[in-house]
Structure 1
Amino acid sequence: MKFNPNGQLVWGSFYGSSGREQMSNLLPIDDETFYLAGLTDSPKDITTPNSHQPNYSYLPDNGDYGQLFLAKFGRNDDLSTSDISTSTLKIYPNPTKDKVYIKGFIHQDSLIEVYNLVGQKVITQKAKSGLTQTIDVQFLPKGTYIIKATDINGKAFQDKLLIN
């Protein structure tokens, strides 16, 4: 939830549905966006409609503990220019096993970071000049990660990255 200085609700979201939910990890991206990972037995609608990524990801079934999931929460009507345009950036291949490429305009000296679902930064790399950035991920264990690019003005882009 976010409130304005007068105490009025600006936006909010919820987590939980008809089944058993368990949050495992929380990864804040900025003041208004975060990823939530955990387990759920709910068949659908574990988050506020239209306030998370369109398909929160169900990962492999974990037996008695339900399905693993990764959901992105944040303000869905933010029209500010504080984000790097997602239409100009492409991350590929995704999933990957050794290298991932970010294609599109990223300012030189922008920071590229990869986080695991515990919120630990596992890769930090400065962008080089050129339209395609290469990130070596072959040493990372299989799993789901968050990749984030932040330019020198604080504009950011983030996406889910699967390593298999």
Structure 2
Amino acid sequence: MKKITFLLLTIVSISAFGQDKLTSAIEEYYDGTNWLIQGKTEYTYDTQGNVVTETYYDSNNDVTDTTTYTYNSLNRLIEVESIYGDDSYKSEFIYNSDNLPETIIQYDKENGNWVKDDKIEVVYNGTKIDYYVEYEEWNGEEWYLEDDNSYKAKYIYTNSNFTKIIYYEYHNNIWVEDDKDEYTYDASNKLIKEKWFSKNDDGTYLLGGGIEYSYDSNNNIIEEGFVEYTDEGTINYSDTTTYQYDLNVKMKDIIHPFKDKYGVKIDFETSDFYVNKILLETDGSNRTTYYYNGDTASVEEFNAFAFKIYPNPTSSILNIDDSSFSIKSVEVYNLLGKKIITTTLNEVNIENITNGIYMLRVQDINGNFATKRFVKN
């Protein structure tokens, strides 16, 4: 499964006065006895109800990530800037005459200057996405397609729903069909299943994983099951996330960061299926609690030891400064809460995981836990 790399959260024009407002989310993990805080995200909004900042605090209550959003007069997202420690990234969005995003340019900050890193061009059939192309190379004057490093995604529809995305890799100056994702809907057009396929050398497809969705009578997602398949096609349910709601309040009546920011469906986010007020999501030993109107966990609840990691971002080895404590265990989780690496060393080899944001959880010999986010690039 390939996922495009720009942010997909958007919001519509609403008045921000007199409404409930989602102001923070607390991430916790269960250590076998207690739920312990591993991070917190705080949100702020403009007078139109658009989220303008997301600030992430680690388990030491230190700010590690900050994301800011800028909108045009139609409340369409035009710029996102993210800071992770000493590293900064930016995305710019350009819209067509139908107010749909047609160009997204991503930048890295190097020596105080913004440097172009990636571009995505989106082509439409009417108001539906026909395909997009991701360029990975900028030579200082123009973007160009690079072998094995540029990608295209073609959308296939049944009525108004896209039911398949076929991915292509640029190789020897032509587009070569690669992986694909398939989507299944029920009679009410609710997404109930995703399947992710990788293409074999002989041209056949191997089903590797997917997601199955369950809903309540209000059409809220209540269960999200991540599925893995063996080479023989046997299903292995690896992770299941459950969701709880306040059924007396609808999300459309709340100011929150999950609403559409640029007017087209490019991929699915779980928050697309929040109809009522989201309160809690739980994934095994991890959970996220959502707080409204300024309520939040107190600073005193952030109870962990301090440590540093470097370099961050990194493409291969992530170092843990354990000069002030002794490591018992180290775990790396993806943003779905799935544990993908376990070690007892102060050097973590992340060379073989895909690029993105991850959570590092460290336990010392006294049983204390602390977490940090890091970026694999």
* Structure 1 residues 76 and 113: alpha-carbon distance in aligned structure 2, compared to 1, 3 A threshold: same
Tell me how far apart the structure 1 counterparts of residues 62 and 329 of structure 2 sit (CA, whole Å).
24
Deviation sequence 1:81-135 (CA, Å, 0-9, x none): x622x1xx22000011111000123425x100111110001111023xxxxx111
Of residues 300, 304, 308, the one that matches 1:83 is 304
**1:44-80 deviation per Cα after TM superposition (whole angstroms, max 9, x unaligned):** 3789xxxx6546532565967449xxxxx8531248x
Conserved? CA contact 1:113–1:147, under 8 Å: yes
SS in structure 1 opposite 2:366? coil
- For residues 318 and 37 of structure 2, what CA distance do their matches in structure 1 show? 23
- Distance (Å, rounded) in 1 between the aligned partners of 2:326 and 2:358: 23
CA distance in 2, matches of 1:112, 1:74: 26
Q: 1:2-49 CA deviation, whole Å, 9 max, x = no partner? A: xxxxxxxxxxxx9726xxxxx9xx852352414478xx94113789xx
Does the alignment pair 1:116 with 2:334?
A: yes
Q: CA contact under 8 A between 1:114 and 1:145: conserved in structure 2? A: yes
SS at match of 1:16: strand
**Higher strand share goes to which structure?**
2
In structure 1, how many angstroms separate the alpha carbons of the residues matched to 2:370 and 2:27?
A: 14
Structure-to-structure mapping, 1:38-117, within 5 angstroms: 41-44=50-53, 54=63, 56-58=65-67, 59=82, 65-66=260-261, 74-78=297-301, 83-84=304-305, 86=306, 89-105=307-323, 106-108=325-327, 110-117=328-335
- Distance between the aligned counterparts of 1:75 and 1:62, measured in 2? 36
> 1:153, CA displacement in angstroms?
2.5
Q: Distance in 1 between matches of 2:38 and 2:375?
A: 18
| Contact 1:116–1:144 under 8 Å retained in 2 | yes
Unaligned runs of 5+ in 2: 1-19, 68-81, 83-89, 94-100, 102-259, 263-295
**Local SS of the residue matching 1:100:** strand
Amino acid at match of 1:102: I
Q: Is the 8 A contact 1:33 1:74 kept in 2?
A: no
Secondary structure of the residue aligned to 2:315 is: coil
The code of the aligned residue for 1:93 comes to P
Of structures 1 and 2, the larger Rg is shown by 2
Structure 2 equivalent of residue 126 of structure 1: 344
Matched, 1:147 2:360: yes
Q: In structure 2, give the amino acid aligned to 1:145.
A: Y
Separation (CA, whole Å) in 1 of partners of 2:357 and 2:29: 15
Take 1:136 and 1:15, find their aligned partners in 2: how far apart are those partners? 40
Asked if structure 1 preserves the Cα contact closer than 8 Å seen for 2:357 and 2:373, the reply is: yes
The answer to whether the 8 Å contact 1:115/1:123 transfers is yes
The alpha-carbon distance between structure 1 residues 55 and 114, as it changes in their structure 2 partners (threshold 3 A), is closer
User: Quick check: 2:53–2:66 contact (8 Å CA) kept in 1?
Assistant: no
- With over 3 angstroms needed to count, the CA separation of the structure-2 counterparts of 1:57 and 1:140, relative to structure 1, is farther
Counterparts of 1:23-34 in structure 2, within 5 Å, are: 27-30=27-30, 31-34=35-38
Distance 1:157 1:74, change over 3 A: farther
Q: What value does the CA root-mean-square deviation take over the aligned residues?
A: 3.9
TM-score by length of 2: 0.27
The amino acid of 1:33's aligned partner reads I
